[in-house]
Amino acid sequence: MKIDGSLPAEQWRGCLLPETASVQEAIACLDRSGLQIVMIVDAGGVLVGTLTDGDIRRGLIRGVLLSNPVHEVMHRDPLVAPPQWGHDMVLQLMVANKIRQLPVVDAARRVVGLHVWDEFLVPETRSNPIVVMAGGKGTRLRPFTENCPKPMLPVAGKPMLERVIERAKLEGFEHFVIAIHYLGHMIEEYFGDGSRWNVKIEYLRENSPLGTAGALGLFESRPSVPFIVTNGDLVTDFRYSELLEFHLYHQAVATMAVRIYETQNPFGVVRTEGVDIVGFEEKPVSRCHINAGMYVIDPQALDLIGRNEPCDMPELFMRLRERSEKTIAFPMHEAWLDVGRPNDLEKARNGAPPAE
């Protein structure tokens, strides 16, 4: 297979940002380019740092805000390559350091190019199954769900569940397990064994609603490797492979993807000690992590779920914590929409990319 990591200027220039940019602008740049790197430059085009998804996630864990300057999360001493290096030298450096992007700089350290890895390689085939929770009744979406299971509602010309499978397949995932209950026969009739998509599809059939984790107790043959669990009604640009790699790197038993959710108090807050006023805060913003509906679970966690026992994911995580097992959060920033209400469905249909 021919590997060519060089990019035309119109592509790598889309990865450039000034050092005055914010973390939010860096995220937007990552989303636009799709190259998984931002190169931070000064006014003269000199490279001062790089930024990847991992740098941003580590910053979010530390409490860095999206409005903060990008230099608070960027990597200040990245590996670089000179323009005269051939591909053998470039690939040797990338393999040795396990990196997927390598800026090209001249003698003055001005950015003149970018070598990438992923864009020119066939995705690694992954044996890890993806379990898709698709059994809910979608009562908040009626009348749309009166005769159609919620994950089968179309967005940009395709059922949401089909979009989940196709996006995951692009990352090398080939084994899917769909948990079904409400109007589950419609899902089975549409997807069958998955051969139409060149993937393997199996089913966990709930006789009654078992919650967001209970269907995992229906496995006849348990997975032998960590598996991904995702809700079937999510519209997102999220990469499941990054969640899996994060889980494996941290050697966790269960990992939950989380998003930062902000709420603004509409009033000025008066801070008091007894009857004394000690300060004011005008319309403060509170921030918390919310469950994004995507997880990685090790097979051993299935010991804590009984067959046909209702169980939600937060309950499973708490059971693992009670056993002192390692459960971690994966902070995500990608576009994400949980389609639970009619206005969410309208947003998804207006904002989702067209079907491939």
> What phi, psi does 178 have (nearest 5°)?
-105, 125
Tokens linked to 336: 């994400």
Q: Are 48 and 42 in contact (CB under 8 A)?
A: yes
Residue 98 annotated among the catalytic residues of the structure: no
Q: For residues 281 and 270, give the distance between their C-alpha atoms in angstroms, rounded to a whole number.
A: 7
Q: Which amino acid is at 39?
A: M
User: For the chain, how long is the longest CA-to-CA vector?
Assistant: 75
Q: Is 270 exposed, middle or buried (0-12, 13-18, 19+ CB in 10 A)?
A: exposed
Residue by residue, DSSP assigns 198-259 as TSEEEEEE-SS--HHHHGGGG-SS--SS-EEEEETTEEE---HHHHHHHHHHHT-SEEEEEE
| Strand partners for 255 | 296, 328
Q: For residues 130 and 247, give the distance between their C-alpha atoms in angstroms, rounded to a whole number.
A: 14
Starting from the edge strand earliest in sequence, which strands make up the sheet with 47-51, in order? 16-18, 38-41, 47-51
Choosing from 137, 150, 283, 347, which is the catalytic residue? 283
Sign of the dihedral defined by the CA atoms of residues 306, 308, 311, 316, in that order: positive
Q: Are 278 and 314 in contact (CB under 8 A)?
A: no
Q: For residues 114 and 104, give the distance between their C-alpha atoms in angstroms, rounded to a whole number.
A: 5
Other C-beta atoms closer than 10 Å to the C-beta of 149 total 25
| Strand partners for 133 | 179, 231
- How do strand 175-180 and strand 130-133 relate by DSSP bridges? parallel
Helix (H, G, I), strand (E, B) or coil at 259: strand
Q: For residues 106 and 104, give the distance between their C-alpha atoms in angstroms, rounded to a whole number.
A: 7
Active site residues: 283
